[in-house]
Amino acid sequence: MKHKQVFNQMSPYKPGKQVEEVKKELGLDRIVKLASNENPFGYSEKVDQVVTESANHFEIYPDGYATVLRDVISTDLAVDFDQLVFGCGSDEVIDIICRVYLEKGTNTIMATPTFPQYKHNALIQGADIKEVPLLNGYHDLQGMLDVIDDDTRVIWLCSPNNPTGCIINQPSLERFLEVVPEDIIVVMDEAYYEYINRDDAPDSLSYINTYPNLVVLRTFSKAYGLAGLRVGFGVCDLAVANVLNIARGPFNTTKLAQFAATEAYRDQEFIKRTVSETIKNKQTFIQFLDEMELDYYDSETNFVLVKLPVSGDELFDYLLSKGFIIRSGEALGIPNSVRITIGEKTDMDMMQQHIRTFL
Ligand code: PMP
């Protein structure tokens, strides 16, 4: 069997420590996972109701065009019905973009560090990767423009950026879109869009009509709390959406996921509560970091990347022994740091006490 060469340098995705695994290892009853930026407040109660009552007949394939979900979201976002592309998580939309636009001889530009799936999927397609280091957690947009060449096909912007949490503001995005050649796809990954709390954040969707090369990505995995169901989507120009929809699997979002996402989207009150609790708890956490004289990146999302005087692995191991799973920055490409998802107040208080003791 002769697979593509590139697979010799790659390894399968292995999730970080899972709650059940840690429970067993440590013999603890309760483990708090603050590692994957999930929603500690769960998801809208209305989702359980509709899933119990309506999601049935699993012997029948789902609606491959996710018509109801598509209708609800496109109406709310004031875009055309056909401008959406759904995926099994935005992970899948990223993969589809790579399959459509990248191949050997092309290249793609992204920040580093950023969300690793851009590079992962681009490598599989045989594209060259051009990584432009962040500037204090922010995208170096001029640096990205400087490395564009005739073979560039896709540029990835992640705002808020995972793992730093920093956003690209409106004037910067506008200027960037103005100068990027229009045959290059610009992906604005807004997986954490709902948490942004800054006046200078762009309304990215408003640029789609002017810049038909722009694809905005959103997900149900973060503020909507449906990570386990796997639904994400892209919003873009009709012509781009058409091609992406050709390339996706015919039934790539499940019936259960479509029902749940539709109901979750309708319950914007839940999102408001999630976001306001998260921002409150983040402010308390940041106050704690200030008191501890620990530096951190500007975060417009539900996690904070904290700079440490020790390696991230050391704090990771210590907190794990106390029943808290976080992410060590060593694994994320930022040594001496940890990325911590903002959790519920009592859990955050407890974790802060442990950090205080450790440092
Ligand atoms: N983009 C970013 C920036 C992310 O952090 C994540 C999840 N960690 C994703 C995309 C993928 O999310 P999902 O596939 O769950 O929609």
> Is the CB of 165 inside a 6 Å radius of any atom of ligand 1?
no
Ligand 1 center to 51 CA (angstroms) = 23
Say if residue 134's pLDDT is above 90: yes
> Is the CB of 101 inside a 6 Å radius of any atom of ligand 1?
no
Ligand 1 atom with least separation from CA of 220: 16
Say if residue 51's pLDDT is above 90: no
Lowest mean pLDDT among 3-17, 203-217, 282-296: 3-17
If one residue of 34, 90, 327 were mutated to test the ligand 1 pocket, choosing by the most ligand atoms within 8 A of its CB, it would be 90
For range 26-32, the mean pLDDT? 89
Q: What is the pLDDT of residue 16?
A: 75
For range 109-115, the mean pLDDT? 97
Lowest mean pLDDT among 45-54, 120-129, 210-219: 45-54
Ligand 1 center to 191 CA (angstroms) = 6
pLDDT-derived band of residue 22, with 50, 70 and 90 as boundaries?
Answer: confident
Q: What is the pLDDT of residue 18?
A: 83
Ligand 1 atom with least separation from CA of 37: 8
> Is the CB of 89 inside a 6 Å radius of any atom of ligand 1?
yes
> Is the CB of 156 inside a 6 Å radius of any atom of ligand 1?
no
pLDDT-derived band of residue 19, with 50, 70 and 90 as boundaries?
Answer: confident
Q: How far, in Å, CA of 48 to CA of 201, rounded? A: 33
Ligand 1 center to 2 CA (angstroms) = 31
Q: What is the pLDDT of residue 283?
A: 98
For range 315-339, the mean pLDDT? 94
Q: What is the pLDDT of residue 122?
A: 98
Q: What is the pLDDT of residue 13?
A: 86
pLDDT-derived band of residue 184, with 50, 70 and 90 as boundaries?
Answer: very high
Please name the amino acid found at residue 83.
Answer: Q
Ligand 1 atom with least separation from CA of 93: 14
Say if residue 7's pLDDT is above 80: yes
Q: What is the pLDDT of residue 208?
A: 97
| CA 53 to chain CA centroid, nearest Å | 30
For atom 5 of ligand 1, which residue has the closest CA?
Answer: 162
What is the model's pTM? 0.97
Q: What is the pLDDT of residue 54?
A: 82
Q: State the first-to-last Cα distance of the chain, in angstroms, to the nearest integer.
A: 52
Lowest mean pLDDT among 22-36, 64-78, 299-313, 314-328: 22-36
For range 93-106, the mean pLDDT? 98
ipTM score over 0.90, yes or no = yes
Q: Return mean pLDDT, the chain.
A: 96
For atom 8 of ligand 1, which residue has the closest CA?
Answer: 36
Q: How far, in Å, CA of 349 to CA of 281, rounded? A: 9
Give pLDDT tens digits for 260-275: 999 999 999 999 999 9
For range 33-42, the mean pLDDT? 96
If one residue of 221, 224, 248, 252 were mutated to test the ligand 1 pocket, choosing by the most ligand atoms within 8 A of its CB, it would be 221
